[in-house]
Chains A and B, each alone.
Chain A
Amino acid sequence: MKRLNLVVLVLFVGFLGVLFTLGPSGTQKVQSTVLGLIAPFLRTGSGLEKKITAIRTGLKSLDQLEKENKALIVHNKQLQSINATLRDLESENNRLRRALHYRERAVFQLVPARIIARDSSSWWNTVTIDRGTADGLTPEMPVVTEEGLVGKVTVVSENAATVVLLSDESCRISVTVEGTREQGIVSGERESGGGTPVISMRFLSKMADLKSGQKVVSSGVGGVYPPGLMIGAVKEFKVRELDGYATLLPAVDLATLEDVFVVTGRK
């Protein structure tokens, strides 16, 4: 082996050794640095993605118009395009209005954030939001919408943060079923990254006898998530050998989520 290759190999092994021995805080520091580097590109990419989607939507309506009366094509195109823009604005307005009302109503101090990227790996369910330490975010802060709990902040850089969604297997939330004394732990399933997120509730008593549609809220045990945050509704309840197990429909549509709030404290 050439001397230069040997030197590189020694440096490589040393670098690996340093990385392997990093503790949680060291790991989060490295992650925060990398996230800080990539965040501006994700933000730009998110903007580009929105523009491309808008162009594609415009082309689709043009196709539809071509099938109609030739004399009305230009007029129709203009009207439809204005209409589509207004509809977009209306839905955004409604969404932001709902968010604003929620922010005013909520008992928590909330920092509004926008999702700029979704995780690209196979086994983890995370999103990147456009808020970071500059906005007062720290790891472990819960993330919510007006519909319920979304997940929690794990890695924070200056202007971006990673949020692990409640559909991730590693996100574990102590919960209680409304109207009962039943308590359990909610977590995601490993196969829930692709289409519809799957979440489940474990460690229920075998006598729980939960009914479909019963609401599940956070219990506040553990201290990360405040009590009373909506998690979802019971879909199916099964009795297993040692405990009761329920699958849940998440209260928040995690697949189409765009705007969220980070809980930074109580009002």
Chain B
Amino acid sequence: MIPFFFILLAVSFLSVVVQHFIPPLSFLHGARVFLLPAIMLYGALALPFGFMLALAAFCGLMWDALTVQVIDVSVGASIKPVVEIALGWSILLYATLGAVMSGFRPLFLRGRWEIHCLMTGLCTALVVLAEFLMLSVRRIALFEGSFVYTPEIGWRIGGAGIVALFLAPLIYWLLSLLSGLVGYEPRVAFARKEDDE
């Protein structure tokens, strides 16, 4: 299990790099391709709770560190730097979604991925939606702005989910291959764990 956990960490890291070179999809109104949530959610299915939390911490920290901004905000006559969205929100989000996903583990261990692929699409859209809502609330507070919603924003959220839905079977298959290569069988590992308990 431990070698596979480290493989998932490495794959997550690489996916963050790869995501930088995938342009926005113009036919989905600029929706982005996200690989990281699918990898994290696969980890939630294939790894025990503690490892899932560690994976969520790694993925969330990577994502937040590369996206959140420290911005300048006017406070009276002076300008002071403020963290727009605190580091750690994505960790919390990934851990929550991972915990929900692990509820679908029994079906996954039986080799059925349909629900999990659907859930991956849904969870990816939820991650983007949560980012949008956090950003909106924060910017309304910081800049005294108003809530902005356009059809393009809807496409960014839904489009990311649709892409993740179609990519999920491929990502799951590749990760299950890697899992097999290091001799980690989630079905066997969880059966053994149940026996121990």
Contact = CB atoms under 8 A, between A and B. Distances in A.
Interface string B69-100: 11110000001011110111001100100000
B156 A41 contact: no
A122 B83 contact: no
Contacts of A155: 70
A180 interface: no
Contacts of B152: 191, 194
Nearest to B81: A24
B64 to A, nearest CB: 8
Contacts of B53: 8-9, 12
Contact of A12 (B19, B95, B153): B95
A35 B160 contact: no
B21 A8 contact: no
Contacts of A27: 68, 70, 83, 86-87
Instruction: For chain A, give the interface size range.
Output: 35 or more
Interface of A: 4-5, 8-9, 12, 15-16, 19-20, 22-24, 27-28, 30-31, 33-35, 38, 41-42, 45-46, 49, 117-124, 126, 128, 139, 154-155, 162, 164, 168-170, 172, 189-191, 193-195, 222, 224
Contacts of A119: 20, 66-67
A40 to B, nearest CB: 10
Contact of A190 (B57, B79, B148): B148
A164 B68 CA distance: 11
Contact of A22 (B34, B48, B87, B95): B87
Contacts of B81: 24
B32 A122 contact: yes
